[in-house]
A = this chain, B = another copy of it.
Amino acid sequence: MADREPAGSPKAAPKDTTSGRSYTVGSVAHALHLIDHVVSGPPAGMSLAELTASMGLSKSSTYALARTLVDHGYLQSVGQPPRYQLGMTLVRLGDHALSAIPLSDICRPVLVKLSQETGLTSRAAVNDNGYPMFIARVDAPGAIRFHTPLGVRELPHTSSAGKAMLASMPAERVQQIIEDSGLPARTAKSITSLADLTADLEVTRQRGFAVDDEEDDPGVFCLGAAFYRFGPEPVGAVSATGIKQDRATRHIEALGRSVRAAADEITQLLTGQETR
């Protein structure tokens, strides 16, 4: 998020070489921002005019950037007048990047089973310095599609996967992680004090799984459990997500046991056989 220009001044800061240089290529940064804007734009895609407005660059420059990205398949322009949306190259690269994480392949069949058992959307995350970074998702057959994209990190203290991982870490490490992330409130129910968090983690340990009761998203309910390979530091966590009102999320104990079992199965797969 710490970026160069908030697209405020049209002429850009002329001499920002104050102290330390940044060693980044400006036009490339512009291009990647362009992609970001397409992502956060409407699904139908964005017109050049819209992109130009959001970029803070001239029309012709935006055009050249978009052309370059289209030429390489990072964007595709559909229709006439063209609307820019994400291209197939990104699908290819994302798939490739995912396949480099053997964990995602290992987790997927387990998640399929978990979703069948619970009727919920189940996901797996790797431990990214205390943050859960999601690398696999399996939607339940009839379930509502959640907006839970892969490749994103959630907060350690508001997600069930995050709390599941924190619960099996020493208090010192938890504090270190929270110092980095802070305890921002995502909803009214979010945990915002270290004392509350440690209490919640203690409950989590005794219960065997973590609960996120509308702490990250209003109306969304999550259960999570961590899995391991060697020491107590968790490798990652699985989570099951549902709507709070659904009857499927009533029997928390039973669902929690399923999540716990799924995590244990992944632990088994990781420690039993060699990953490679």
Binding site for B on A (CB under 8 A): 3-4, 23-25, 27-32, 35, 39, 43, 63-65, 67-69, 71-72, 74, 85-100, 105, 109, 112, 133, 135, 139, 141, 145, 149-152
Contacts and interface: CB of A to CB of B under 8 A. Distances in A.
A3 B71 CA distance: 8
A31 B39 CA distance: 19
Interface of A is mostly: helix
Nearest to A31: B28
Contact of A28 (B43, B63, B65, B87): B65
A51 to B, nearest CB: 14
A24 B92 contact: no
A97 B87 contact: yes
Nearest to A112: B112
9 contacts: A3-B71, A24-B68, A25-B68, A28-B69, A85-B100, A86-B93, A88-B97, A91-B151, A93-B151
Q: How many copies, total?
A: 2
A157 B91 CA distance: 23
Given A67-B24, A96-B39, A96-B86, A32 B151 contact: no
A145 B28 contact: no
A108 to B, nearest CB: 8
A139 B96 contact: no
